[in-house]
Structure 1
């Protein structure tokens, strides 16, 4: 293999990315999502080399998806051996993703991502870590660019994979996969390969193995060229979003929790800015919109008579006279019902089924998913309560403190119609311990010193009613 980039030049480029995008601060405790593939192994190696410079604490986590059989078991064994050899603390989780996908009506890849990130965030909270480092490279970003371009995306969607999004950082986002593999070769790093990455039935693999090689025949540096284009899009998008927000504020007015926007004022704007103003307003209200939604909203601006458009996130836009009214879709709230949980057993609230099971130290293996919680039994007491949200409810979050559930639901873009129907697990002191599928109070999670475990697992799709059983 030809030399793509020397190891010191590679390290310097990653360091430049870290500092340019402020991905890491001195003293950060970083969790590396370690699959065992070449990208994640190189990421861990690089962060360990950068650790003295930034006084970093570096740990790793690996999630077994319950897919790919023996190959997935091999991956887990590999990362366990690697972390022992490198002296890195490792947390391992497992989920039955195929079953989770069936239960939630999701695709396997989407369910796998949800389960993996839920596990990683749980590790972060439990270990008191400050950020999650994932191993996306420039090559991944370019593949995503072409996937979105082919399917049809706006400039907003073509910005690529961002270097940072909240607590998730991507230190390798400015280096290519070829450069990563060369770094691994020079340093003699071992890694595992996922055989499904060669399956051309998967769109990303087709882009990687069929489309990009053709483009490289015309321009061997096509990844760098597209990378520069995405960077320009991000910079210009930032300016455009700021301008659109400013215009939106000047044209809109808030009334009784709703926002009204003048149709005539919108119509005077250039079509591109009109779309941007509407999109930024939708995002500010916790909603979302795709290109087809924005095109339909354009007809609301120009047409006559009453009409409405329903958007993802439980938002609705209504044309009323000279205004567009942005409002939440209101459904009838469920009755204020409490289900008493006196001890281990099976209980239901609405369409949710809760299973409480005590597990002794050294007991059966626990399957971790966004819909299960492993609690330190010595930190909670029965009876507990399962109920729906009430006004003023708060939950304690690690490094955040108490946060209103209303704000949490808005931040997580939970549709309004779902918020009142989301069950809560509350302890005997009235503390909200868990919002299944979303967040939990990390103070009661089981840890390394836990002697008695309480596993709470939730399934959606139970029969209605509040019947419970401790059989």
Structure 2
């Protein structure tokens, strides 16, 4: 957590935990070779009581000869303005101030073993993976938590031995905040089952953090091997937990919230191809083992339906179809003529009735050339065609059903064979 020469800013509320942390750091500063400062944030929620806490912290630091900083912030007004809870807003503003004062320094906060268990239970209740249930990290960036494995009872005993007073935040006695309800009701019930639940939770959460650290390390490795910008290639070689952690990082970096269900959907998408809308016009798009985050601007769905005619016919802006009937005794001769273009060749005499050219309709199916089963066109598109190329795909149908699917192939029943003498050559022209 610390090395010689570090400057440590201790977050000081005036409560028992932060006062104990300040005293510990002050007693060890010579041995550790560190410089010590204190920072108090006055949330201005409790009127005179808030000002009392600030005075207490200032006087304590003055007595100990510790540099003291304090900042006021309007939690109530900001919470109303941004539409968040008082508890959430207070934390956000507090850490903004902490960050500003601790640039190039270490920031020590007084989270203890009780806080850690409360956090793990809160995350479990809200719905969280291993990272959330593992509780508070001992180190995160420049933030350190030196007394994270110390219980609240040990802290109170420490202060009592030194005759050191502290202040009590009256809001901690209320059940208005979710964390307080866990502290006042759930943990006491757990202590009825195991009187040492706080102490035993230290080892449990420590083990979970170790396991989470291993998964994070493997995720780092997967990212370094598979990631390029906003895409991953080769993630399918890794276990589901690593795949989902990689995707979660990508979403987090783009400020996109996610849930367990969303990560499950994204992982399934990676394995089967397709796209998933994750925020506004942002989509996760998976194709052939690759998944990427991409913006897809909504565009009007292209729809077309009309009879197929010989020659060149414009279907819609930027797209025409070329159709030609060719009498020939050899398929290879026709393929040689059209080798420089994308084309489809069918047996003209196997077509039943009038040919229609159209865009896809619900329930389209086709039995492709060389297959003995019928496939869903939607499934084939998801497997073979990038999402950005799907709008406006064209199909041909005769009186018995679909005989051609653009970018996919022709129906087995209209495929040329050694007896074919009349060929239908189709080409879609896009500008």
The TM-score, its normalising length taken from structure 1, stands at 0.58
Question: Whole-Å Cα distance in 2 between the matches of residues 71 and 169 of structure 1?
Answer: 28
Cross-structure match for 2:130: 155
Determine whether 1:106 maps to 2:84.
yes
Determine whether 1:91 maps to 2:69.
yes
Contact 2:222 2:242 in 1 (8 A): no
Task: Give the alignment partner of residue 5 of structure 2, picking from 27, 40, 61.
Answer: 27
Cross-structure match for 1:67: 45
Q: SS of 1:156's equivalent?
A: helix
Q: For this pair of structures, how many residues does the alignment match?
A: 298
Question: Whole-Å Cα distance in 1 between the matches of residues 285 and 98 of structure 2?
Answer: 40
Distance 1:285 1:107, change over 3 A: closer
What is the RMSD computed on CA atoms of the aligned residues? 2.7
Question: Whole-Å Cα distance in 2 between the matches of residues 253 and 133 of structure 1?
Answer: 34
Determine whether 1:300 maps to 2:269.
yes
Alignment of 1:149-188 (within 5 A): 149-188=124-163
Cross-structure match for 2:192: 217
Q: After the TM superposition, which of the residue ranges 49-58 and 104-113 deviates more from structure 2?
A: 104-113
Cross-structure match for 1:116: 94
Q: SS of 2:175's equivalent?
A: coil
Cross-structure match for 1:199: 174
Contact 1:132 1:167 in 2 (8 A): yes
Q: SS of 2:40's equivalent?
A: strand
Cross-structure match for 1:259: 231
Question: Whole-Å Cα distance in 2 between the matches of residues 189 and 329 of structure 1?
Answer: 61
Q: SS of 2:102's equivalent?
A: helix
Task: Give the alignment partner of residue 247 of structure 2, picking from 265, 278, 294.
Answer: 278
Task: Give the alignment partner of residue 228 of structure 1, picking from 192, 203, 208.
Answer: 203
What CA deviation, in whole Å up to 9, does each residue of 1:393-420 have, x standing for no partner?
Answer: xxxxxxxxxxxxxxxxxxxxxxxxxxxx
Question: Whole-Å Cα distance in 2 between the matches of residues 78 and 40 of structure 1?
Answer: 12
Question: Whole-Å Cα distance in 1 between the matches of residues 198 and 272 of structure 2?
Answer: 44
Q: Which has the larger radius of gyration?
A: 2
What CA deviation, in whole Å up to 9, does each residue of 1:61-113 have, x standing for no partner?
Answer: 11111211121111112112212222222111111111122233332222212
Question: Whole-Å Cα distance in 1 between the matches of residues 285 and 116 of structure 2?
Answer: 37
Determine whether 1:327 maps to 2:305.
no
Contact 1:253 1:261 in 2 (8 A): yes
Question: Whole-Å Cα distance in 1 between the matches of residues 112 and 284 of structure 2?
Answer: 38
Question: Whole-Å Cα distance in 2 between the matches of residues 102 and 322 of structure 1?
Answer: 46
What CA deviation, in whole Å up to 9, does each residue of 1:413-459 have, x standing for no partner?
Answer: xxxxxxxxxxxxxxxxxxxxxxxxxxxxxxxxxxxxxxxxxxxxxxx
Following superposition, the deviation at residue 53 of structure 1 comes to 0.3
The TM-score, its normalising length taken from structure 2, stands at 0.63
Q: SS of 2:136's equivalent?
A: coil
Question: Whole-Å Cα distance in 2 between the matches of residues 59 and 192 of structure 1?
Answer: 19
Contact 2:251 2:258 in 1 (8 A): yes
Question: Whole-Å Cα distance in 1 between the matches of residues 181 and 29 of structure 2?
Answer: 37
Following superposition, the deviation at residue 289 of structure 1 comes to 3.5
Question: Whole-Å Cα distance in 2 between the matches of residues 60 and 122 of structure 1?
Answer: 13
Contact 1:248 1:278 in 2 (8 A): no
Question: Whole-Å Cα distance in 1 between the matches of residues 4 and 40 of structure 2?
Answer: 25
Question: Whole-Å Cα distance in 2 between the matches of residues 81 and 330 of structure 1?
Answer: 59
Contact 2:113 2:148 in 1 (8 A): yes
Following superposition, the deviation at residue 318 of structure 1 comes to 2.0
Task: Give the alignment partner of residue 309 of structure 1, picking from 274, 277, 294.
Answer: 277
Contact 1:293 1:311 in 2 (8 A): no
Question: Whole-Å Cα distance in 2 between the matches of residues 63 and 114 of structure 1?
Answer: 12
Following superposition, the deviation at residue 285 of structure 1 comes to 6.9
Cross-structure match for 2:27: 49
Distance 1:253 1:187, change over 3 A: closer
Question: Whole-Å Cα distance in 2 between the matches of residues 253 and 272 of structure 1?
Answer: 16
Question: Whole-Å Cα distance in 1 between the matches of residues 142 and 76 of structure 2?
Answer: 27
Determine whether 1:80 maps to 2:89.
no
Question: Whole-Å Cα distance in 2 between the matches of residues 136 and 80 of structure 1?
Answer: 21
Contact 1:260 1:326 in 2 (8 A): no
Distance 1:231 1:311, change over 3 A: farther
Question: Whole-Å Cα distance in 1 between the matches of residues 283 and 83 of structure 2?
Answer: 24
Question: Whole-Å Cα distance in 2 between the matches of residues 113 and 253 of structure 1?
Answer: 33
